[in-house]
Structures are given as structure tokens and as C-alpha cells.
A and B are shown apart, each in its own frame.
Chain A
Amino acid sequence: MSQTDTTETTANRTDDQGISTTAGETVETTRPEWTNYEAGGETKLAVDDLDVHYGDDHALKSVSMDIPEESVTALIGPSGCGKSTFLRCLNRMNDRIRAARVDGSVELDDEDIYQDGVDLVELRKRVGMVFQSPNPFPKSIRENVSYGPRKHGDIETGLLARLTGRAEPEREEDLVERSLERAALWEEVSDRLDDNALGLSGGQQQRLCIARCLAVDPEVILMDEPASALDPIATSKIEDLIEDLAQDYTVVVVTHSMQQAARVSDQTAVFLTGGELVEYDDTDKIFENPESQRVEDYISGKFG
């Protein structure tokens, strides 16, 4: 099921955070045909021939996939398969790891996010991330939500903001309410916005983190096992929220729970050990009739 091998030249790349450059190196890529699966909808993120090395460890091998906008894309696979590495490549979180080397391209709205001169702060505003464990700031609920927009100067902060000519900045209270509502948390916290966020339950903290992510008005939301630390009720609230968010945002979610991937996602990418994207297709196709026997064995629990 593999296409003819193609020989391609990896992109030259240097960036300000120490990712090494691979100049003119030639790599062999063998791409299974289903990784050329074309999902419905406009492509928001186009990943082409992405390789990641952590030192000598080849963590991702020549991954190519198009992620459509306004939908949920699930990334599944066993531990160490590279799915979280892949997710972190989508907003250059791997830049923080000095030993990491990234080759290939990731285009957000047709612009390569790895090209020189990309503003990482702006990129991470457009491509937000929610982590496995809820990690609110030890501040009030209100400040957790308004922290990002303040940093970006997107809310009214007084005379200076007005003098610098920012047009009609949103009032903080409006932004906090809007973000918390969008994260399905407003009704539970509207009467205690000045309480410390650490006093919320785990599920509420995770929705607060989603609200914090939404407050800076992202286009893509990356989620790394967002419900794995939560009980079933909190999990189902997060899952409902993910489906709801996909109406307006591009959501990419890494999950260890195959049932969660099946429940919430529109398309599913299966990574298997060795950093290989083995199959990428509509979620119902993956779970009802996958092309790859390895994927079939993995999702049926026949491995081992």
C-alpha cells in the first residue's frame, strides 16, 4: 500500500531558539497512500514531510497530513509514538527543547510557521494549547482569563492603550464573560470571579484553561490529553465542549482514549511506534474499517 518512493530535499532552516539546520540533506520518504487522505473543509494546517529528531532519536518520520478547519482531528497511538511531539510541532513548542531538530514544513493558512522571522508569541496566540493537567495561574479566575489578552494588549488597560491607538479594545469584563461562556464555565463561576482559580475542581480548572486559551482569540486549539486527569462527568463536559468549539475553531486533540477519539473527532490520525503516521482518515472509517492491519490490531487491542 505504499506509493513510489520520492526523494525530497528538506527545508533549510535556522531559528532563533536553537533548532539546528539541515542543509540540503536528502531523505527517502515512503508514504502510505492513506496519508494523502483529503479531509473535507478548507485546510487550516498543512503538514508536509515532517521529521523530528531528539538528538539521535528519530521521534517523527516524514509525517504529512492536512488538518481541516472547523473540525476535530484526533491523534491516537501508543505511548512514545510521536503524537504529542507532532502536536507540539503545530505551534513550535518543540523549539523549547534544545536537542530537537525539526525538518519539513507546517503551514498555517499557507504560511510556513517554521520560516525565519515568524513571531512565536503571535503564532502561539493563533495556535493555542491546552495541556493534560489543568494548569491555571495561582490568581483569580478573572485574572486567569484576562492575563493573555492583557499581555497582547487586547483589552482596555487605561490611558496608555487609548493613546497607542488600539481601536475599540474589548472591556475586560466582557472578554472574561465571553471566554468563560464559550468554555461552558460561566454559569458555575460568574458569582466568584475574584476567587483563586486553584479552588476550582479539576474539570472546572481545565475549562478555565480552555477559556484562557480562547481569550486571546485563537484559530487553532491544540489539546494534549485534555481529559485524562478528569472523572467521567468532567470528561464528558470537556468532550461536549470540544465538539462545540469545532464549530468555530480548528481543534487537534491527542488522546490515549480511543473511545474518546471515536466520540469527539471528525478525522483520526493513528501514529504507531517509531514516529510513523500509519493511517489518517475519517474517524468512522478508522474505527469501522481501517486500511492498515497494524491500525486494526492497535485499535482492537490485538497488539502485544
Chain B
Amino acid sequence: MPREDYRDSLDELERDVEAMADDVGDQLRHALDALERGDHDLAREVIDGDDRINQQYLDLESDCIDLIALQQPVASDLRFVAASFKILTDLERIGDLATNLARYALAGSPRIAPEVRVETIGEFASAQLGDAVDAYTRADPAACRDIADRDDELDAACQHASETVVRELIASETDRWDVEQLLDDVSRLLLTIRDLERVGDHAVNIAARTLYMSDGDPDLIY
């Protein structure tokens, strides 16, 4: 097969994107664990790890630009590089969201709306990310569409959770609470829910770019 170095570079890019995706997936899971258990050490580890994720992002972005500039990929190779380039951005953002969640863990558990199961929503969002990365690895168009469909479920769960928090806020007897503390808890909980919903959106983006990569189908992108 001619152009062996080029083909090796494409294989290496795929392995590196998958490795970064694994790292980001670990960051997200650790952040969720830290939230659930109130584990401050683990939360700090996640926050410190974000520099590593950012560096991977910059390195791989540079690799993509080099491939485009020096090797001029076309057809499925071009779609692979273009999709990977976009997916890197989504992974980096998920890394940032994991850092946000770790910071919320450091701020303590909210004392409102205990029935809102953040960990359940988190598991769902984390599974969406895992499935999207699997779909990318296997270039599986059917899995991409499933991920996009399941995002509605996540959105509905997040909306329901947010409404529950706001209802409790309205119903709460504020004189029994420290108002500042209450506002902190409510906004942190709402931000947690919003960030998890965004993790799901980035997972859908990854699926959309993967579908374009595998089938040249931009359906989920727009």
C-alpha cells in the first residue's frame, strides 16, 4: 500500500482521539463520583487533570492541521480528519464540564431537592458519551442515530429535575434557611443539571460528526 506514512498518521490520529476520549470519560466519571460521595480529593484530581486534557486537545488539533496541510486527505480520509477535528473540540468541552462538576463537589452537597437524582442523570450522560466514542471507534451509523434519539430522554430528565428544584425553591420557607446558602445551593444544583445536559449535547455532536464520517451523511449535524 503506497503512502504508508500517511496511513500510519491517520491510524495514529484515531488512536490518539480514542485515548483522549477515554481520558475525558474518566474525568467525567470521577467528577460524578466526587459529587456523589463528596470526595474532595477526587474532585481536585479532576480539576488538576484538565490541563492534561487541554494539552491533548491542542496537540491533536495540530496533528489534524498537519494532515490537512501536508497530506491533503480526500474522500473518507478527509471526512475522518474533519470529523476528528470537530470531535476533539467536543471532548475538550466535556473535559471543561467535568471540571465544573468537580468544583460543585468541592462546594458541598446542596441541601435542597434531595429527590433530584443527579447521579442518575450523570450516569445517563456518561453512557451517552461512552456510546458516542464507541460509535466513532466502530464508525457505526446506526449507533449514532440511537444516541441522537436518546438525547431527548436526557433533555426531558434534566428539564424535570430543574423544574423540581425551582418548585422546591418557591415552596421553601426561606425563614428557616440562610438565604445566601439557599441561593448557592439552588444555582449550583441547576448548573449541575445544565452541565450534564450539555455533556449529552456534546455526545450527540460526536455522534453527528461520526455519522458524517462514516456515511458522508450530514443529517444529524444540522
Contact = CB atoms under 8 A, between A and B. Distances in A.
Interface of A: 258-259, 262, 287-290, 295-296, 299-304
A285 to B, nearest CB: 9
Given A288-B216, A289-B216, A301 B75 contact: no
A304 B221 CA distance: 35
A288 B3 CA distance: 19
A290 to B, nearest CB: 5
Given A289-B79, A289-B216, A302 B74 contact: no
B75 A300 contact: yes
Contact of B75 (A259, A288, A303): A288
A98 B149 CA distance: 65
A258 B2 contact: no
Contacts of B216: 288-289
Contacts of B55: none
Given A289-B75, A302-B1, 7 more contacts: A259-B72, A288-B78, A290-B75, A296-B76, A299-B74, A300-B75, A301-B6
Interface residues of B, number: 13
A300 B73 contact: yes
A287 B2 CA distance: 19
B153 interface: no
A69 to B, nearest CB: 27
Nearest to A259: B72
12 contacts: A287-B74, A287-B75, A288-B74, A288-B75, A288-B78, A288-B79, A288-B216, A289-B76, A289-B79, A296-B75, A300-B74, A302-B3
Contacts of B6: 301
Contacts of B78: 287-288
Contacts of A303: 2
Interface of B: 1-3, 6, 72-79, 216
A303 B3 CA distance: 10
Nearest to A299: B74
Nearest to A262: B74
Contact of A304 (B1, B72, B75, B77): B1
Report the 8 A-B pairs with minimum CB-CB distance, sorted nearest first. A289-B216, A301-B3, A296-B75, A287-B74, A304-B2, A299-B74, A300-B77, A300-B75
Nearest to B71: A301
Contact of A258 (B74, B77, B79): B74
A288 to B, nearest CB: 6
B81 to A, nearest CB: 11
A262 B1 CA distance: 24
A300 B71 CA distance: 10
A220 to B, nearest CB: 28
A301 B79 contact: no
Contacts of B73: 300
A135 to B, nearest CB: 31
Contacts of A290: 75
